[in-house]
Amino acid sequence: MKTGEIIVISADGKGVVLSTENLRPQTQKRALLNHKKLDKRLTKGEKRNSKRMATVASVYTIASFIRTPEQIIDPEKFCVDKRPKPENKRVWASLVKKSELVISDAFDEALDRDPNKQKHWVALVDGNKTQLNLLKNFSHQHHINLTIVLDIIHIIEYLWKIIEYLWKAAFVFYLEFRLSHAKRLSRAELIRDVVKL
């Protein structure tokens, strides 16, 4: 059966809220120290120490779909062909297995589909450093030229953090600059006033 020329491995982490007795020992200790604000449900921020991370993986093939950045951002403004659908998509998750094993399973699944490594291999991730390192390691181990695509939503989050940091640094510099010049100006005006007397 002929499938698309791109094979995609996707990896992500998903926090799953669990009862206290099903948490890992360290998280369980922290959860027992927490006191809930409401009896019936958690309030905002109370999910900490009540989750375990599941590693979610998927493998599928897809036909290429070439677009410009403008077409990606605003597809209704530009005439864009109908996007191809993923083929033979398999998705699985594990709370028990370490992410290394789940991602290894994803590579095994992809290699079963493309044993001669003739397709273009792509990994779609959200920027989790552990997952990125695992993907790089497995691609080197299997001699695969892997293109890693970082989810644009997460890229935007990272950019906002950088902008916020730079803005704060620039604002602090601006305040210090104004304060130092205000002091100089006030001294200069005071000296002028004294000279006039």
Is 103 part of a structural domain of the chain? yes
Task: Looking at the structure, tell me whether residues 185 and 134 fall in a common domain.
Answer: no
pTM over 0.75? The answer is no
Residue whose token pair is 């083929």: 87
Task: Looking at the structure, tell me whether residues 113 and 191 fall in a common domain.
Answer: no
Is 45 part of a structural domain of the chain? no
Task: Looking at the structure, tell me whether residues 128 and 71 fall in a common domain.
Answer: yes
Q: How far is it, in rounded angstroms, from Cα 67 to Cα 62?
A: 15
Task: Looking at the structure, tell me whether residues 144 and 186 fall in a common domain.
Answer: no
Give the count of domains, the chain. 2
Q: How many CB atoms lie within 10 A of CB 167?
A: 10
Q: pLDDT tens for residues 148-190?
A: 998 877 777 778 888 888 888 888 777 777 777 666 666 555 5
What's the domain range around 141?
6-13+57-150
Task: Looking at the structure, tell me whether residues 144 and 109 fall in a common domain.
Answer: yes
Task: Looking at the structure, tell me whether residues 137 and 81 fall in a common domain.
Answer: yes
In sequence order, what are the beta bridge partners of 186?
Answer: none
Task: Looking at the structure, tell me whether residues 65 and 145 fall in a common domain.
Answer: yes
Task: Looking at the structure, tell me whether residues 142 and 170 fall in a common domain.
Answer: no
Q: pLDDT tens for residues 9-61?
A: 999 988 776 666 666 677 667 666 665 555 555 566 555 555 667 899 999 99
Task: Looking at the structure, tell me whether residues 75 and 124 fall in a common domain.
Answer: yes
Is 135 part of a structural domain of the chain? yes
Is 131 part of a structural domain of the chain? yes
Burial 172-195 (b: 16+ CB within 10 A, else e): eeeeeeeeeeeeeeeeeeeeeeee
Task: Looking at the structure, tell me whether residues 140 and 165 fall in a common domain.
Answer: no
Burial 64-81 (b: 16+ CB within 10 A, else e): eeeeeeebeeeeeeeeee
Q: How far is CA 184 from CA 115, 172, 178, 197, in A?
A: 73, 18, 10, 20
Q: How far is it, in rounded angstroms, from Cα 126 to Cα 136?
A: 14
pLDDT value, residue 35: 57
